[in-house]
Chain A
Amino acid sequence: MIKPSKPMSVSVLGLGYLFLYLPIILLVIYSFNESKLVTVWSGFSTKWYATLLDDDELITAAWLSLKIALMTAFASVVIGTWGGFVLARFGRFRMLTLFTAMINAPLVIPEVIQGISLLLLFVAMEQLLGWPQGRGVFTIWIGHVMLCVSYVAIIVQSRVKELNLSYEEAAMDLGATPFKVFFVITLPLIAQALISGWLLSFTLSLDDLVLTAFLSGPGSTTLPLVVFSRVRLGLNPEMNALATIFILLVTIGVVAANQYMRAAERKRAREMRMAFQSESTLAETDNSPVMARQAEGASKPALLTRKGVQS
């Protein structure tokens, strides 16, 4: 095997990760700074966390964001899975190109564009149908779902594609109707993709600023909107504290999910090795290609990614 030079590799990756993590580390450290001047260290204090707890505006906004994120995650998983499955399993149909384009485009399209166009839609709908009245949670929800659906659809599509079609055919061959095949066979087998999609939608929604700015109305101020309005004015130690809490939660979540998945994978690999060895009655080794194929397909470490999920 060709190995790249170790010192180069270590220094490139070292610098790379320093670039990625230094801003975050500084942010966390200075959240414990006593001074109101964020960049000047004056002593350890947790007072900004206390301020955070008393900040009603922030807490209300956080609850609203959480609520919208949950609603968004569920809706986008349902619609995204539906769309992704259609893309992966329905072959060619008229308008397929348009369908694919509409699924893919939101991945890259600047959010300002989606924001203004959805807003104009809701305004036009209100004029024509009298609904939705004004802007608020509902319009933000739809906007966020539109933002996330593409990600879910693409994750699901690629997972379904690598899923061997013969599982579904076998189920049908054994008498399950297409509807039942989807729920009893396909869904459980792509569960991991659904979880990835759910988590991704949840965080995207929790984090979204631009789309929300267009679609929110009075009384529906989400957390990013509050944070942005304050951050715009400059540094703010309270925001450092908020960021630290956020980072802590996310890190725990991602690391735990990753560990869990890898442990499951290792267990699986071990069991498969044992099954190999157990076949002593027939032959010493049974290096069957089927088992190798299953090992690849079954548990891809679902790197929970935001963009670039295709490839």
Chain B
Amino acid sequence: MKTLILRWLPNGRRTVIGIPFTFLLLFFLVPFILVVTISFSQQQLGVPPYTPLTTLKDDVYSIALNIGHYKFLLQDDLYFATYISSLQIALVSTLLCLLIGFPIAYYIARASESVRGTLMMMVMLPFWTSFLIRVYAWIGILKNDGFLNQFLMWLGLISAPLRIYHTNWGVYIGMVYSYLPFMIMPLYAHLVKMDLTLLEAAYDLGSKPWRAFIEVTLPLSKNGIIAGSLLVFIPAVGEYVIPELLGGSDTLMIGRVMWDEFFNNVDWPMASAVTCAMVLLLLVPMALFQHYQTKVLEESKR
């Protein structure tokens, strides 16, 4: 309607939309369809390491769908435990991020205007440095003879080192550390936009600060909470590096299982099937994210 640019060149418009569209289609959507297809084929030795789905033999064109991988995924207890454990680890990490991130975002948003920018820059700064390095940094802290245990023992709080490295706790800490800014960013954006006279009005009407927080601030930052939680939860479910480096051999996560199927067992069809299962797990949160994004888009149009 308002976007008249290139309306005068109807073909130009189509080309301009078409080129990035095709790029995304080719490198985003088509690969997905391939993953689904290959999850129905079988492992074989050779290049590529999977059998074709369709064969043409004696003029008979036949399609063979091997649903064995899915059957296995549904029946095997270990896989089931993996789904549950992935979701649980992601959920706990998200909640921890929210609990830690909200107060930080809140106080940054309420800080004086002159320092807000610097404070936010300081939140983002570590995350411009390598993700790998940041996770690596925690190994030195969490190890049995690491800095944390040295410190706690020096304080005399514990006599034997705590086992955190190579446990789920290590994974939680790593996740929170890595994903915290993704929580703080949207929360901050919502909190800083909030009209403070609303709080003044609430106080004026006799609301105590904590009531005003519960009844005014929290509902107004709802969208920020949703956005932040999804930004943490979805990638956390499929995380590979953190459980690999900080988790134990018993830390079951779906991204790790898929990686092992792919690289260690060279079972591409099985890895594809696991990927499909992961997508299914994430379908609801991703749909929510998409819904939220379009909502933001439409709001900004007005």
Contacts and interface: CB of A to CB of B under 8 A. Distances in A.
Would A and B touch once assembled, by the CB under 8 A criterion? yes
Contacts of A118: 27, 31
Nearest to B292: A310
B182 A306 contact: yes
B258 interface: yes
Contacts of A93: 17
A124 B38 CA distance: 10
B28 A307 contact: no
A34 interface: no
A78 to B, nearest CB: 10
A227 B132 contact: yes
A33 B43 CA distance: 49
Contacts of A172: 4-5
B259 A105 contact: no
Interface string A94-110: 01010111111111111
Contact of B5 (A27, A158, A168): A168
A74 interface: no
A99 B281 CA distance: 22
A138 B200 CA distance: 58
B238 A113 contact: yes
A176 to B, nearest CB: 11
Interface in B12-46: 12-13, 16-17, 19-21, 23-32, 34-35, 38
A246 B130 contact: yes
A178 B5 contact: yes
Interface residues of B, number: 115
Interface stretch (A1-9, A53-61, A274-282): A1-9
Given A24-B129, A203-B128, A307-B181, A16 B103 contact: yes
A23 B135 CA distance: 9
Contacts of B26: 121
Interface stretch (B69-77, B117-125, B152-160): B117-125
Contact of B31 (A120, A181, A247): A120
B177 to A, nearest CB: 7
B122 A17 contact: yes
A127 interface: yes
Nearest to B234: A108
A243 B139 CA distance: 14
Contact of A112 (B6, B143, B203, B240): B240
Contacts of A247: 129, 133
Contact of B140 (A27, A246, A309): A27
A112 B126 contact: no
Given A95-B21, A116-B35, A117-B34, A243 B181 contact: no
Interface stretch (A44-52, A229-237, A283-291): A229-237
A247 to B, nearest CB: 5
Contact of B128 (A16, A227, A254): A254
A19 B176 CA distance: 10
A2 B297 CA distance: 31
Contact of A117 (B32, B131, B145): B32
Contact of A13 (B119, B129, B239): B119
A13 B108 contact: yes
B147 interface: yes
A120 B35 contact: yes
A123 interface: yes
Interface of A: 1-4, 8-9, 12-13, 16-17, 19-24, 26-27, 30, 38-40, 79, 82-83, 86-87, 89-91, 93, 95, 97, 99-114, 116-118, 120-121, 123-124, 127, 142, 145-146, 149, 158, 161-162, 165, 168-169, 172, 178-179, 181-182, 203, 206-207, 209-210, 213-214, 224, 227-228, 231-232, 234-235, 239, 242-243, 246-247, 250-251, 253-255, 258, 262, 301, 303-311
* Interface pairs A-B: 8 shortest CB-CB: A110-B238, A308-B185, A117-B31, A23-B137, A311-B189, A108-B234, A83-B20, A121-B31
15 contacts: A4-B110, A13-B108, A90-B16, A105-B28, A105-B286, A108-B235, A110-B239, A112-B238, A149-B23, A178-B5, A235-B140, A239-B136, A253-B128, A307-B185, A308-B189
Given A95-B21, A97-B294, A247-B133, 17 more contacts: A2-B203, A13-B119, A20-B123, A24-B129, A26-B147, A27-B140, A30-B140, A91-B2, A105-B28, A105-B290, A110-B239, A149-B23, A178-B5, A210-B240, A246-B130, A251-B125, A311-B224
